[in-house]
Chain A
C-alpha cells in the first residue's frame, strides 16, 4: 500500500465550477499537509500547508484535513482556466527532520 494515494485524473471541469481534489494516507504520524500546483514542465509551487486537522482558506482555495479519516482535500472555488495544472498533495512526518511524501498528482483542466 502506498503511503499517499491520489487519483491522477485527468479531471475536467467548466470554468466557474467548484473543484474538489483529495488524497488519502495510511501513516497516522503525518502532521503537516501541503498542496502544490505544478504547471507542465515547471517545478511545483506551494499553495498552502496545514498543521494537524482543520480547515485553512486562502482566497479561492480551501484546504481540509481530517486526521481521523486520514483524508485531505483541496477545494478551488470559481475555477479559472489558469488553474489548469497538476495538483500534488504532500505530507510530512517527523517534524522538521522528516521528508515530504508526495501523492501522484491530479491533472486538472478547467475549460472556458
Chain B
C-alpha cells in the first residue's frame, strides 16, 4: 500500500517553455501533498505544501508564479514549471500523506527535469 506515482519520470524541454509534472496517490486519498526539489548529492528541499481544494503554501524563496501547484483532487496534484530556465533543471519529487500525518509521507519516484 501507500504508492505514489509521478509522470513523467524524465522530461527535457527548451528554455522558455512550461512543463507539467503529475503526482498521484494510487491506493489512498492524500489529504496533503508536498513538492520537493533535490540537486545532485544534496538533500530534499521542500518547495510547497498543498491540500486538496486549497491554494498551495510555498516555502520562503520559492516563486509561486513560476512553480504553479494545483491539488485538484485527493489523488492528484500537479506542478507546472513556467518559463523554465536551465537553472530549473533538477529532480522534482512529490510526496503524499493522509490525514495530514506529515511524519508518514510517501514519496513518488521523482521527475528529472532538464532545461536546455
Chain A residues with Cβ below 8 Å from B103 are: 32, 34, 49, 51, 92, 100
The winner among B44, B45, B106 for most chain A CB atoms within 10 A is B44
Q: Given A43-B107, A43-B108, A43-B110 in contact, is the A96-B101 Cβ separation under 8 Å?
A: yes
User: Which residue in chain A gives the minimum CB-CB distance to B57?
Assistant: A99
Contacts of A8 on B, CB cut-off 8 Å? Answer: 41
- Please determine whether A46 and B42 come into contact, CB atoms closer than 8 angstroms: no
C-alpha gap A42/B34 in the complex (Å): 16
- Evaluate contact between A49 and B104: CB separation under 8 angstroms: yes
A104 to B43, CA, bound (A): 5
Q: A99 contacts B49, CB within 8 Å?
A: yes
A60: Cβ under 8 A from any B Cβ = no
Residues of B within 8 Å of A100, CB to CB, are 34, 44, 46, 102-103, 105
Assess A99 versus B43: contact at CB under 8 Å? Given A32-B103, A43-B109, A46-B105. Answer: no
Residues of B in contact, count (CB < 8 Å): 26
Contact A46 B104, beta carbon cutoff 8 Å: yes
Give the residue name and chain of the B residue nearest to A96 (CB): B100
**With known contacts A41-B112, A43-B109, A45-B107, A99–B93 Cβ distance under 8 A:** no
- Complex Cα distance A5/B41, Å? 14
Interface centre among A8, A44, A88 (most CB of B within 10 A): A44
CB closest residue in chain B, given A6: B43
**Residues of chain A with a CB closer than 8 A to B105's CB:** 46, 100
Sample (14) of A-B pairs whose CB atoms are under 8 Å apart: A8-B41, A32-B103, A34-B103, A41-B91, A44-B93, A46-B105, A51-B103, A96-B102, A99-B102, A100-B102, A102-B43, A102-B45, A104-B42, A104-B43
Query: Measuring CB to CB, which residues of chain B are less than 8 angstroms from any residue of chain A?
Result: 4, 6, 34, 41-46, 49, 59, 91, 93, 95, 100-110, 112
Chain A residues within 8 Å of B, Cβ to Cβ: 8, 32, 34, 36, 41-46, 49, 51, 88, 92, 96-100, 102-105
